[in-house]
């Protein structure tokens, strides 16, 4: 088996039990709730078993491909019954996904889907700010341990190191302040 292509949940079209229960109302499925309309399948047909022999089975065909059988399962919850979809792997899920250009609906585990947000968070501005925040806290702790910043009219080694790290962390104000301080002292 070749390595699976990795997709994001956000890029996949999904189907919920209520969508399956709506039967042929495909236009409704591709409505506003399923906002990822860019990756919607060209054609999606849903139909129940003939004469509803088993009302818990819905057939779905994506872009004219061989139909897939979807099994619905009702579970008793606190407020009545909840309907789930059963993935081919046996997982009972609230959503089945279809990857872009995919032919078959499967669960998130089967499709090896990740959430875009979980990947981008560590790199995002917010994530970066949080990272920077802990970095700055560490720098401030470091600064507190430096009791001497000058020695014979020059910055001490420890303080220089601190300033270098400040610069790396984007704490330019700290570096500028130190520079101004040094210049003020020198001019006196
Ligand atoms: Zn599955």
Q: In this structure, what are the phi and psi dihedrals at residue 49, rounded to the nearest 5 degrees? A: -60, 145
Q: How far is the CA of 102 from the centre of ligand 1 (A)?
A: 14
Low pLDDT (below 70) residues in the chain: 1-4, 22-39, 51-52, 116-134, 185-188
> pLDDT digits over 29-73, tens only?
444 444 444 567 777 777 777 766 777 888 888 888 898 999 999
User: What pLDDT, on a 0 to 100 scale, did the predictor assign at position 1?
Assistant: 39
Q: How far is the CA of 37 from the centre of ligand 1 (A)?
A: 23
Q: How far is the CA of 175 from the centre of ligand 1 (A)?
A: 54
User: What pLDDT, on a 0 to 100 scale, did the predictor assign at position 28?
Assistant: 46
Residues lining ion ligand 1 (Cβ < 5 A) are 87, 89, 91, 106-107, 110
Cα–chain center distance at 149: 45
Give kind and range of the element (H or E) at residue 76: strand 68-77
User: What pLDDT, on a 0 to 100 scale, did the predictor assign at position 71?
Assistant: 92
Give kind and range of the element (H or E) at residue 179: helix 172-187
Q: How far is the CA of 16 from the centre of ligand 1 (A)?
A: 14
């Amino acid at each position: 088996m070749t390595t699976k292509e990795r997709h994001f949940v956000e890029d996949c079209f999904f189907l919920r039990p209520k969508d399956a229960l709506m039967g042929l109302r495909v236009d409704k499925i591709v409505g506003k709730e399923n906002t990822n309309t860019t990756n919607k399948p060209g054609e999606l047909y849903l139909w129940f078993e003939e004469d509803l022999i088993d009302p818990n089975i819905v057939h779905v065909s994506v872009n004219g491909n061989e139909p897939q059988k979807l099994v619905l399962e009702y579970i008793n919850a606190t407020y009545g019954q909840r309907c789930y979809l059963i993935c081919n792997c046996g997982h009972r899920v609230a959503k089945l996904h279809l990857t872009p250009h995919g032919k078959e609906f499967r669960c998130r585990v089967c499709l090896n889907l990740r959430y875009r947000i979980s990947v981008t968070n560590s790199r995002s501005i917010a994530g970066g700010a949080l990272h920077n925040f802990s970095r700055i806290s560490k720098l401030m702790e470091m600064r507190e341990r430096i009791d001497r910043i000058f020695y014979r009219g020059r910055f001490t080694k420890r303080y220089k190191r601190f300033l270098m790290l400040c610069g790396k962390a984007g704490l330019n104000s700290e570096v500028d302040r130190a520079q101004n301080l040094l210049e003020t002292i020198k001019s006196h």
